Structures are given as C-alpha cells and as structure tokens.
Structure 1
Amino acid sequence: MAWYLTSRGIPLPDCPPLIQTPSPGEAPGAAFDPDRVDRVIAAFSLLRHTQGQWAGRPLRPDPWQVAYILAPAFGWVRWDEDAGDYVRVVRELYVDVPRKNGKSTLSGGLAIYMTCADGEPGAQVIAAATTKEQAGFVFAPIKHLAENSPALKKHVIALKEKILHPRSGSYFQPISSIAGAQHGANLHCGIIDELHVHRDPELVETIETGTGSRRQPLIVIITTADSGKRETVYDRKRQRIEQLARRVFTAPSVYGVVWAAERDDDPHDPATWARANPGFGISPTRAYLQAKSDEAKQSPADLAKFLRLHLGVRTKQETKFLTLASWDANATIVDEESLRGREAYGGLDLASTSDLLALCWLFPDDDGDALTAIWRLWTPADNLAALDKRTAGAASRWVREGLLTATPGNVADYEWIKDQICRDMQAFRVKSIGYDPWNATQLTNDLSNERAPMVQVRQGFITMSPALKGMQRLLLKGTPAQPVFRHGGSPVVRWMVDNLAVAMDPAGNVKPDKASSAEKIDAVSAAATAMSELMARPPKRRSVYEDTDFEAI
C-alpha cells in the first residue's frame, strides 16, 4: 500500500485503524493490480460533492480511504479458473468508523462505481436499510451524485427510487425488506448501511446469499459502532472481524477495518479524537468534536453517546478473562501417547446436542507444578454447514484435520461419545469425570453403568470461580519456554477461548457466561469443569492449583 500511494503521489496517512484484518495479499496466488485501484479513484474523481463547503468539487478519496479501504479491497486479485480471468480477492468489505468521517460519500462512490464502472454486465447493486425512510436517506445523496456530476449524468438515468445505467443494463436501488433483496437474487454488490441498527439478521443474510452467480461480487458493510450488546447481527460481524485480525482463523475474502479509541484513552483529548477519526480536521472538524466533547461532560449518558458515535467505543464491551496472549504462551506439542497410564480428571460439556459438545482431560504433573490438557470435540454432521458460516469455513478444515469429530445426523450421537470415553478410560487412570447435572442425559447414566466415575459439578460461582481463576493463574504463569497449562494449540479450542465471556458477582467471583459469549465456549466450560474436579480431589502433594488467592465465597 505504501508503494502504491507513493507512486501515485498520494500522501501516506498517519491514522491507522485500531483493528485491521490481514492483508488480502496473503491469499494464495494473490497479486496486486494498481490499475484497478487507479480506475476506482478515477471514477470517484468524476463525481462531485453535493453538500457543504465542498459542493461542486471532485469527490477525490482521502489518503486514508485509499490506503486502508479502496486499495486493499480493489487492488488484490487472484486468478479464477472458472472466470478465465483475475478477480478480486475481497468479497466482503467491512468499514467501522465514527460519524462524520464520510461514510455516506464513500457508500455513494462505491455504489456508483459498482453499478457503472466495474465492468459487470447487468450488475444489480442494492443498499440495505432497516426502514423505507432510512432507505430514502441512503438513496438521496447517491441520487444527487448521479444528477450533479457532469461526467456521470449523461450515462445514467436517475429515477425516483432507482438509478439505471443503460449501457451495461445495470441498476442501483435501496431496499428495506427481504422481498426487496430477493428481487432478482443475482446481486453484484450489496451495501449494508449502519449495520448496528439492523436488529434482524435475515435481511443481511439474504443479501449475502444472493451473489452466488457473480464473478467478483462485493458485500460492503459501512457502519458506526454499537453499544456492545451481545448476539446482534452487528456483534457477530464485529466479533468475526476482530477474530480475523487476531488470526483466530483466516478468511482472505473478508477484509475489515475499525477506527476507534482505546477504552482507557482520555475521551476529551484531541489526540484521542485524531486516532479514532481518520478524517479528523476535515470531517469531522476539530470544532465539531470539541462541541460534542463539551456536551459529553454534562452527563454519563452524553459521555456514552460521545464514546460510541464519535470515538467508536463499544461502551458495554466485556474485558477478556482469558487472553489469547497467555493462551498462546502455553501452547506446546502434546504427545497423547505419553499420557497413557497417567492420572486424569475429566470435564464433560453436553450443553447443546445439536451444536458442539466437549470433553476435556487434565493431567497433573507428578511434581504438582503444571498440567497437560487434551480435548475431544464433537458436532452433528448436519450442523457443519452452519458452523462453517460462523467460522469462515474453518469448521470443515477442523474436521478434516481430526480436531473436531462430525457424528452422523442432526443431533449428537452419544454412542460415539460413550465409546470414546470408554477408550480413554482404558488408556488413562481416570479419577473423575465432572458434568453439569442440569444437562444430565442418558449418556451420563450409561457411563456410570460402564463404571465411569461420574461426578455432578454445578456451574455456579461456588464451583466455577476457583476453577476459572486457577486456569487463569496457570496461563499467566506459563511462558513459551516453560508452559504451565500445556495444551496442543488446537485452533478449535483457541477459537472458544477467544469467545469466552464471564459473569461476575459482587464479590468478584466468576463463571462462564454462555449467553454473553461471542460464540461457542464449550471447550472452555469442559476445561473449567475438569479443573474443578482436579482442585476438589487434588493429589496428596501440595500443588500449584491450590496456591491461588481466591475471593471468599
């Protein structure tokens, strides 16, 4: 990107996003085509601003828009055998930026380009809004661009609710319903405006699934941050972008950037405004943010609004209890064969028979200073497609690599699980297998009949807080040179560790909170249950698992 900007005489921006997914150039066979970016910038420049002090001037993208949005999304290409040509690597573009940073202008330029200049015959381009009124707000500035740009208006026909490009047989229109998204169902581009106000995921999902027959479709999400509410369509998209940025899994076709302040930044410091707002000084202006900052000083409610709308801070977002840094520091090769005959403590999570189930075995060292962990993970085969969608296609790879077992049918096959546990009981010296009695099933009864030492473990603060804090302590103590909570670095478990959210009571005790977690955490819950058993029935020697300053319960 630096080479491209320098070669075109574009200043290098000094406002990198807080969160950025890996470069699309990391995709296998990717190549950078500067001419494609030149074409996008040239198309933008033929348009004219329609409002304010910039009205009538060419709509030239700012350096930060070129460096962090347009060049990565449009410049990186790969050869497509079916198309017999190079196509864009990026098929989903996510831009999360505070208000007044030119989102409407960027959306308008992209809508016009994808309709009229992307070289796609019969391109169907839509912008999705939640209501007809919002659709009008989305369409109006784009219609103004079409009507007031001399180089464009002779090539398009701007109707009341649609813009036509007769030469290519293409059109652009806003929609506010699933029916509108399904009309034609052969989208070249879908622009989703202000994702955080979409309460129902169906419209977004309909747009995403309507591009199957296009060579290089593009879904564009341009939004402002939400307050941090869990399990919304915004939350799921934002979490996926953050996980891609942390390399929890990979999806080269998805590229995303998020501009925001850090949670501990001073919200009233102009330096914070500049970091969170890439257009700072031009749009938004310093005077505008100063006024909003002064307003935010008046009440907590105004401050929360300022943090979210103008600094991109999700005000209700939870702090990570187990960090990926500490988790990765303890990743090491685990030789399962070397664990045969070792003392083992199990934790079984059977929370969802139609999604993921997990079993964790913990093996304490003889000297009591560390432990080793292994997992067994299952999902019904019929759930794999849904799991792929939530993990950017990683779930099928996990199955192929033997990290996740797909059992036949649409619900968990308990016979598979029972057989695996029985084999493990023959291989290890199993002291106990903890399970949540609330989710007790015939499986736990069958295992008891097989003489498995099944133990009920309640999932409340009393049992889970010591276990989770014990895990946290071990992970923080471990280093790459001397891991203390040794695990095999499974990407499936790593994904669940990254998803973990905890509930906390007034005394500071914690427990896994599945309802608030970004995604599945079954492997972590199983490990915490196993840890609870290990701490309840420790070896006679003193161990590091007991050496923890827990809150009084």
Structure 2
Amino acid sequence: MMTAGRTRSTRSQPARSATTDSPWADVDLDELKLSPEVAWYLEDRGYPVPDCPPLIKTPEPRDFPGARFDPARVDKVIAAFRQLRHTKGRFAGQRFDPDCWQVAYMIAPVAGWVHRSIDSGKWVRIITIAYFDMPRKNGKTTTAAGWGIYLTAADDEFGAQVVAAATTKEQAGFVFEPIRQLVNKSPGLKRHLRALKHRITHAASGSYFQPIANAGDAQHGADIHGGIVDELHLHKDMVLIEALETGTGSREQPLIIYITTADAGRRHTPYDEKRQLIEKLARGVLKRATTYGVVFAAEKTDDPFAVSTWKKANPGLGISPTMRFMVEAAEKAKDSPAELARFLRLHLGIRTKQETRYLDVDHWDVNASIVIPERLKGRECYGGLDLGSTSDLTALLWVFPNDDGTFDLLARHWAPEDSIAALDERTAGAASGWVKQGWLTTTPGNVTDYDFIEAQIGRDRDEFLVKEIAFDRWNSQQLINNLISDGAPMITMGQGFASMSAPTKDLQRLIRVGAQVDDQGVPVKPIVRHGGNPLLRWEIDNFAVVMDPAGNVKPDKANAGDKIDGVVALIMAISRAIAAREAAATSAYDDDEGEGLMVV
C-alpha cells in the first residue's frame, strides 16, 4: 500500500506519508507499477493517481550505485513539454500539459534518476536508453517532440546533436516535420529556437535537432547527445540503431528514445530484439540500469471489444484516441479477420500480423518434440526441394511418416557464404548462429554451389529409404537433371493453387491438432515433430498465403515476412507423404473388398 511503500526518501526531498483523505492513501504501488519516488513526485505536484499501468515496465535504477531521484530534473522536462502547443484537432493552439500517466511512466523515471558522473563529478541521468511501446493515437509524436526539444535546448548540453532517425528520408521527414511545426506554432519556443526546413537550431548552446535516414548520417560527427527513433518496427536491420547508440560515446548523459507501436510478431528483427530485451529486464532475467522501457498493451486473453481492454492498452483513451475512434475501429474488426488482426496490433498493442496468420508459431512450438537423425536411418521418407534463388536460401525437407499418423521432419538448408552478413542483418545476427549450430550449411562464394546439395541428397539416399523427392518444375536446373540421371525418384510439383492448396491446408490442420496440451501444459501428441529447428521456425513465422475467391490457398513469397523456402519444401514433402499414405489405404481397402469372392 502507499503508506507502507513510501518510507524511502528521494534523497533530495524527504519522504512523506499520504494523509488519510488523500487519493494516494490506499494506493498499491506494485499494482500500478510505480516506484515510491515517482509516486511521491506525482502526489507532491498534485497529479491524480494514474489508472492505466503499463502491461510491461522495467525496474527503475533505484539501486544503481549513488542513485538519487531529483524532482527538479523532472520539473524541468515537464516545463519544456509545456512550451509546446497542439497543432491539430480540437486542442489546436492549446498548451501541451503531460497527463499523469505520461509523467508517471515516460518522463519522471527517465528524467528523475541521476548519479554523479565518474568523469566530471556532475549529476547526470542514469538512463541512456528509453523504450516506449504503445498503440496508435496515444500522443507518441508529441512525446517525441517534447523530448527532442528538451534534449536540444534545455538539457544544459552545449553543441548537442539530436536526431530524429528513420529508415528512409521520407519516413524521417514524417517524424521531423510535426516537431518542426510544433516549434513554429509554440510562442515560447520561437524565441529560442529556429525551425529551418531540415533542422531546428538553438543558437545559445550551439545545438541542433535534425532528421537522419541512414547510418552514414548518424556516424557523421559521431557525437550524438540525443536520438528519437520513431516506429522501430519499420527498421529492417540494426545498422542505423547501432550507429546511434555507439555515437553517444563522448556525451555524459546521452538519451536514445525508441517510440513505437507493436510489430507483426516477427522474430529476429530490430523491434523483436529491443522488445525481448525490455521483457527480460522487466522479468528480472537481465539487469541493465541504463535501459528503461514500458509497453502499454492488452493481453491476448482479454476481450478485444471490451472498453476495459481498450483502456488497458490506451492510457489516453477518451482524449486521444477518442472513444468514437475506438468504437469505429472495433466495428470494422468484427467484420473481417484481417481487420481484427490490424485492430489487435495497432490499437491494442498485441503483436500479430496485419494479415490473418495462417500458421500459428505457438502451435508450431508445441509440436517441436525430439527428432534424432541417427534414429531415422533406414526409415521411409519423402522429400521436398525448394531451390529458391542461387544467392539466398535453398531448402530440402525430409518427412518421415510414422504408423500412428505423426511425422518426423529433417530440414536441410544451404546459403552462399557471402550472403550470411546480409542474412544476419535480417535476423538480428541469428544466421551466423544457425551456421555454427549446424542448422544452415554455407557454400563458398556468392551463389549456392548445387554440388553440395547433390552430394547431400546422395548421402541421404544411402541413409534413408527415399520414396519421392518433389520439386518445382519451373526450377528444373542442372541439379535436377543430375539427380534424375543418378536414379533419384524426382517428382515435379507445381506451385499453383491446384497443387499447393490441399497440402498447405493439411499442414495447418496437422500443426493445430498437434498443439493440444494436457492440464499441465504438456503436449498430448505432437504431430509434426521438427526438433525445434530455429531456422525452420523463423520461416514458419514469416509464412504467408494468398487466397483465391474459391478459398484455395498457396504460399505467398512476395508478401511473406522474409524467406519461406523451408516451409514450401515441407508442404511439397508432406503432400507426397500423405498421398502415399492415402494410396496405401485405398489399396488395402481394395484388397479387403476381394476377400472370399470367387474370381471368374
């Protein structure tokens, strides 16, 4: 409770106990995810009790050596925010006054915690990286503007270089332009700042704020004091982000702020890497006092159409977003699975693809089970070979049917050695790990050497009882001709709706059936046992389909999150395995039908 939790001093202001008639008297700080220091500040400055704690919040650096909470630092940041004027809608022209939830979770924890610099002895901020993840329309642009202006003109930093970073010049402009307009329309700021077309300058300190769109811009000068990274989920690689964070080395209290909405749930992306870090810090798995983050979102189990769920994910509900906006968005979501997925991600902060996810990666994980390659020797199997591009991944999937209706999988992937660096950028460094762990085989040079694949298929044919290997007839290259000449049982398989719809739906069904668990959460009977192959999991997570008017589906490489070659190969292999099983069942049925009859 509040009175029990507020005995700790802020070390700059004495701790006080809330009076019995105060709205803070019976507040549970743990439930609200508030530190005693921030709670004291909110009450002392007359803020109401916030009623919208974030779903995820990292610990504040209370136990950092020499840490103290300085309320004057928070006052100074809020004063800078109050210089801003709204530029659009019903609040146009009015002063921006941060709401209690913004102060509680996005300003006070970052601005208030300080310690003495080991370099100069000055009091400086402890937190150097802040991560704010929330649905659209909750004032992210204004928050970015407030921090950007503060870092440029009010942080007592001479020659401050502050940047608004995005992946393209156009996107960087989307971030910077609203901030430039805020400066032009805020009288208190116009006296001190000059808003040019591509830069905001503060003459008194020789500082500036400008947009950048690539790592080269970030490295130019390499003396960054502050950075605003808007919509982190749009970044495809870590190059710009790493340039920003490593470019702050000469500053005593730099601050890089990530402000974003949830992504589409893809793994091994910059967003995923930062989000996973914040979740681990929040759980206490990792400790990093200089990194702070909050995530406002609903939980997957919440009713997406309940107002209480909307409030949980949108702390600004009723102001921005408006209730009208949420009602209209929810009505659209009720009419379309695609709109529902979009509503969950953009307005409730739940990580999910905008399109309906066809293969559920959580279901896939339940199917993992253990697959020991040595125990597959001599077993009957069916292959799927997706040659893909010679400059990227090639996949071969072996499917081993079991008598109980389950399947064991063995996945082989190849890629040119020179492509791993680019693949690392798309997977946040995971590709190099896949190579070291044996999940991915590299071939010399910048194109896949098909001799490696041919040799591996030859070894596999010696090890396993290979019945068929399905391949795309449009990729009938020299490798296929060599395999056919060597006696490999190659089967052509088209990639259109007619060939791919049924096995794609079969794979979805098998994964769902195999995802059932008992009361203790233990898988009942994994059907598609894949051994937890992380590369194949990444491809499952990337997988997308296109659907025709009749409801037929096929893999959609053009709109997939990234490579899906392994999944396409799996669909082809499982198609042949199921076809063989059905043929065997039909043959057995025909034999039974003839028993006891006289053949004339």
Length-normalised TM-score, structure 2: 0.67
Shift of 1:456: 1.0
1:137 and 2:178 correspond: yes
**Equivalent residues in 2 for 1:345-356, closer than 5 Å:** 345-356=382-393
Distance 1:109 1:35, change over 3 A: farther
- 1:506-521 mapped onto 2 (5 Å cutoff): 506-521=549-564
Distance apart, 1:524 and its partner CA: 0.9
> CA, structure 1 residues 483+31, in 2 after alignment: closer, same or farther (shift >3 Å)?
farther
What is the Cα deviation at residue 87 of structure 1? 10
Letter in 2 for 1:493: L
Residue 463 to residue 290, structure 1, CA distance change in 2 (3 Å): closer
Once the two structures are TM-superposed, the CA of residue 500 in structure 1 deviates from its matched residue by 1.0
Three-state SS of the structure 2 residue aligned to 1:537 is: helix
> Structure 2 stretches of 5 or more lacking a match?
1-28, 43-48, 119-123, 282-290, 517-522, 587-600
Q: Deviations over 1:91-141 (max 9, x none)?
A: 684645322x22232112221344367787744212357386974432232
The equivalent position to 1:358 in structure 2, one of 392, 395, 398, is 395
Give the aligned partner of residue 101 of structure 2. Answer: 63
Pair 1:378 & 2:378 matched:
no
- Indicate conservation of the 8 Å contact 1:248/1:495, yes or no: no
For residues 66 and 457 of structure 2, what CA distance do their matches in structure 1 show? 54
Distance 2:551 2:321 in 1: 41
Determine what percentage of the aligned residue pairs are the same residue: 38
CA contact (8 A) 2:54 2:296 kept: no
String of CA shifts for 1:170-226, please: whole Å, max 9, x gaps.
Answer: 422346899977864654444355789x9xx8999767645543339766454679x
Aligned pair in 2 of structure 1 residues 170, 5: CA closer, same or farther (>3 Å)?
same
Q: How far apart are 1:373 and its partner, in Å?
A: 0.5
Deviations 1:295-330 (A, max 9, x none): 999x99xx99x9699947999921112112211111
DSSP 3-state at the match of 2:35: helix
Task: Give the RMSD, CA atoms, in angstroms.
Answer: 5.2
Counterparts of 2:583 and 2:329 in 1: how far apart (Å)? Answer: 60
2:497 is the alignment partner of 1:461: yes
> Shift of the alpha carbon at 1:475?
1.7
The TM-score normalised by the length of structure 1 is: 0.72
Partner residue of 2:579? 536
Is contact 2:183–2:195 with CA below 8 Å preserved after alignment? no
Rounded to whole Å, the distance in 1 between the matches of 2:496 and 2:112 is 50
1:106 equivalenced with 2:152 (yes/no)? no
Contact 2:407 2:529 in 1 (8 A): yes
Whether 2:244 is the aligned partner of 1:214: answer: no
Name the structure 2 match of 1:162: 200
Partners of 2:292 and 2:572 in 1: how far apart? 36
Further displaced range: 462-471 or 86-95:
86-95
**One-letter amino acid of the structure 1 residue matched with residue 548 of structure 2:** D
Question: Aligned-pair distance for 1:458?
Answer: 0.9
Aligned amino acid, residue 137 of structure 1: P
| Paired letter, 1:506 | P
Taking the aligned partners of 2:158 and 2:193, their CA distance within structure 1 comes to 17
**Counterpart-to-counterpart distance in 1, 2:486 and 2:111:** 57
Check conservation: 2:543, 2:555, Cα contact below 8 A: yes
Identify if the C-alpha distance between structure 1 residues 135 and 74 changes in structure 2 by more than 3 Å, giving closer, same or farther: same
1:276 Cα deviation after fit: 4.7
1:279 maps to a residue whose letter is: G
**What SS does the aligned partner of 1:455 have?**
strand
Q: Distance in 2 between matches of 1:537 and 1:295?
A: 46
Alignment of 1:482-501 (within 5 A): 482-501=525-544
Q: Which has the higher relative contact order, 1 or 2, with Cα contacts under 8 A spaced 6 or more apart?
A: 1
Q: Name the amino acid aligned to 2:443.
A: T
Helix, strand or coil at the partner of 1:472: helix
SS across alignment from 2:467? strand
Aligned-partner Cα distance in 1 for 2:125–2:532 = 34
Matches within 5 A, 1:274-285: 274-284=311-321
Q: Does the C-alpha gap of structure 1 residues 396 and 71 become closer, same or farther in structure 2, counting only changes over 3 Å?
A: farther
What are the residue-to-residue correspondences of 1:159-308 with 2, within 5 Å?
A: 160=196, 161-164=199-202, 170-174=207-211, 184=221, 187-192=224-229, 209=243, 212-215=246-249, 220=257, 222=259, 240=269, 257=295, 259=297, 270-271=307-308, 273-284=310-321, 286=323, 289=325
**Aligned partner letter, 1:44:** V
- 1:148 is paired with a residue whose SS is helix
Deviation, 1:275, is 4.4
* Kept in 2: contact 1:162–1:174 (CA 8 A): no
CA–CA distance in structure 1, aligned partners of residues 443 and 539 of structure 2: 20
Rounded to whole Å, the distance in 1 between the matches of 2:440 and 2:142 is 45
Instruction: Say which SS state the counterpart of residue 316 (structure 2) adopts.
Output: coil
Which residue pairs with 1:548 in the alignment?
A: none
- Does 1:527 find its partner at 2:565? no
Tell me, what secondary structure is at the counterpart of 1:346? Answer: strand
Consecutive unaligned residues in structure 1, runs of 5 or more:
81-85, 226-233, 544-553
- Tell whether 2:377 aligns with 1:340: yes
Secondary structure at the residue paired with 1:425? helix
Classify 1:144/1:396 alpha carbon distance in 2 versus 1 (closer, same or farther; 3 Å).
Answer: farther
2:561 is paired with a residue whose SS is coil
Amino acid corresponding to residue 534 of structure 1 in structure 2: A
Q: 1:400 aligns with which of 436, 440, 446?
A: 436
Offset of residue 494 of structure 1: 1.2
Q: Which residue of 2 aligns with 1:115?
A: 152
1:416 corresponding residue in structure 2:
452
Return the offset for 1:447. 2.1
Structure 2 CA distance for partners of 1:517 and 1:281, relative to 1, 3 Å: same
